[in-house]
Amino acid sequence: MKVIHSIAELRQALGSSPRGFVPTMGNLHEGHLSLVRQAKESMNGGPVVASIFVNRLQFAPHEDFDTYPRTLERDCALLEGAGCDFVFAPSEAELYPEPQGYKVTPPTELADILEGHFRPGFFTGVCTVVHKLFNIVQPTLAAFGKKDYQQLMVIRRMVAQMALPVQIIGGETTRSELGLALSSRNGYLSEAERAEALRLSRTLKAMIARWQGGERDVAAIEAAALQALRDAGWAPDYMVLRRQRDLGEPVEGAPLVVLGAARLGTTRLIDNLEL
Ligand code: PAF
């Protein structure tokens, strides 16, 4: 596995062979590694590039950009074990040599709801860096985790609307034995919080149970979930039942998904489950 820091060197090393791509912000866990394995398999063993770049553009000023864990050496060892061929780990000066004035702004109906509502500008930051990384890596296929459900949807739409020649694959969420969705931010949790963190997926499951039990008052289902988390000391941003296709209001017969985001102590966790 080669670790490359410059765009020019990456382009030279990759040549013209088709490649798969897994963009990350590092501090990797099993969820990222399963995306690398999935990309490798989908490329029939062809080369896979993983990028590691903590993208300032997608962090609000009060968020954890400065403290986000940078663990390059450990990440590279894990990536090598997962069969990754190239790691692209640019510095900020390499990726943003001048302030990134050109940006990719996704449509409000998809990007200003849920995560985008609570993290204004987040999806513009994500789309801008992903579009730029696609231009640099020029992958035929790229893998993103379903844990960031809305992000995956926003990127799929960008690729479709911009006619980018890349196939997007979505990897299932990897969970701990007890059901906690793996996330780089889980590292911020204390031991007690780690156990409590399971309440987020349990509350999403309770929402599903009410819907599948025949209840159709979506506002009541969502309000009960918010209250359950508040009662346990959480500060939830949203707990919602939506259509899988476009995250619109649920309609009978359409495949649905429950999504939630909530702060436990100082750590913001997100999760979702498809019905
Ligand atoms: O999901 C992430 O880790 C990031 O949002 C991504 C896609 C690597 C863009 O910085």
* Per-block mean pLDDT, blocks of 10 residues, the chain (275 long): 98 97 98 98 97 98 94 98 98 98 97 97 98 98 98 98 98 95 94 96 98 97 98 98 96 95 97 98
Give the SS3 label for residue 21: strand
Q: Which two tokens stand for residue 59?
A: 């962090």
Residue nearest to atom 5 of ligand 1 (CA): 126
Q: Which atom of ligand 1 is nearest to the CA of 23?
A: 8
Q: Which atom of ligand 1 is nearest to the CA of 58?
A: 10
- Report how far residue 275's alpha carbon sits from residue 273's, in angstroms, rounded to the nearest whole number: 6
Length of the chain: 275
235-243 and 256-264 as β-strands: parallel, antiparallel, unpaired? antiparallel
Is 131 a residue of the active site? Answer: no
Radius of gyration of the chain (CA): 19
Does ligand 1 lie within 6 Å of residue 183's CB atom? Answer: no
Output the pTM of the full model: 0.97
Residue 236, pLDDT score? 98
Residue nearest to atom 6 of ligand 1 (CA): 24
- Report how far residue 179's alpha carbon sits from residue 188's, in angstroms, rounded to the nearest whole number: 17
- Report how far residue 246's alpha carbon sits from residue 107's, in angstroms, rounded to the nearest whole number: 12
Q: Count Cβ atoms below 10 Å from residue 177 Cβ, excluding itself.
A: 5
Q: Which of 29, 32, 62, 131 is catalytic?
A: 32
